[in-house]
Amino acid sequence: MKQKVTVVGAGNVGASLVERLHTTGLVDVVLVDIPETGGMPKGKCLDIEQGGSVLRSDSSVIGAADYEQTKNSDIVVLTAGFPRKPGMTREQLLDINAKIVSSVARQIISASPKAILIVVTNPLDAMCFVALRETKWPRNRVIGMAGILDASRLERLIAQKLGVSIENVSACVLGTHGETMVPVPSATTVFGVPITKLMKESEIAEVVQKCVQGGAEIVGLLKTSAYYTPAACVMEMIMAIIKDKRKILPCSVYLEGEFGLKDVYLGVPAVLGKNGVERVMEVPLNDQEKAAMDKAAKAVQEMQDYLKKSPVPA
């Protein structure tokens, strides 16, 4: 019997993810969105599922406007939410998306009480906190798609800079998905060799800066957020969980003392397996990297503190 994955949000990220999942033939998928979207989820799923004979996939792909068909999902991916628009304050974005995440979380609790929840909605770390607060699930079952995307961007930049295959590059990016992300050059390697021994400081600073601005560059060109690679990153998390790979991936996890931080969601190396986060792997950080992690944690803590003062959205 195939495992079941529900994707909440039929936008670009959600639909791209459903298509990737269907291609594997390993899971049955439900794509759900609000009734106001009309037949969009069903239409996209019908289009995707009709490629089954070509792709040799027997996976079912169902579009829905409610959570009835999502029952007993093994994994739920939350992509629904609004992007920050010009003139919108951080608090306004927090309020809007916290309302969405809270509403979805309540419906997930009822339909799939044993699921693992992967959050993609931004601001990511803060929305993970909202989902954890609403579900009251253990931290291993409420995870954010964090540094996988940033690491992928950094790996591409390093591979291009050094003229090597991206398969030989392994990047370590912690912290938040944004300006307070924390690339760790000493733990970023090319064929096992730290880039600190292969690149000049100025070259490392250059690729790191391009990585930080990677999302903004895409928004400037597309006038919308990236979606192909974010979908691929969530796909990697799902495969690690359903195959019980115990693969180490940078994810947003609620910290309980790791890296000297507590009661805050932050991107850290997590061992992903059948139970979600099996454990957090701590990597050595120098003083500069540790200071950057503390700064990132402070930024997320400020958002969490704001949300704690706000009533649980209706």
Three-state SS at 189: strand
Its pTM stands at 0.95
Active site residue ranges: 177
User: pLDDT value at position 179?
Assistant: 80
CA distance 293 to 187: 15
Where does the chain show beta strands of DSSP type E?
3-8, 27-32, 61-64, 75-78, 116-119, 142-145, 169-170, 173-175, 181-183, 189-190, 193-194, 247-256, 262-273, 276-280
Tokens in use for 215?
Answer: 């999302």
Q: Considering only CA atoms, which of 8, 202, 21 is closest in space to residue 115?
A: 8
Residues of the chain with pLDDT under 70: 86, 88, 311-314
Q: Considering only CA atoms, which of 138, 40, 50 is closest in space to residue 80?
A: 40
User: pLDDT value at position 313?
Assistant: 57
Tokens in use for 228?
Answer: 């192909």
For the four alpha carbons of 27, 33, 37 and 38, in that order, the dihedral sign comes to: positive
All domains in the chain, ordered by first residue: 3-145 (3.40.50.720), 147-308 (3.90.110.10)
Look-up of token digits 């954010």? 144
pLDDT in tens, 282-310: 999 999 999 999 999 999 999 999 999 87
**Residues belonging to the chain:** 314
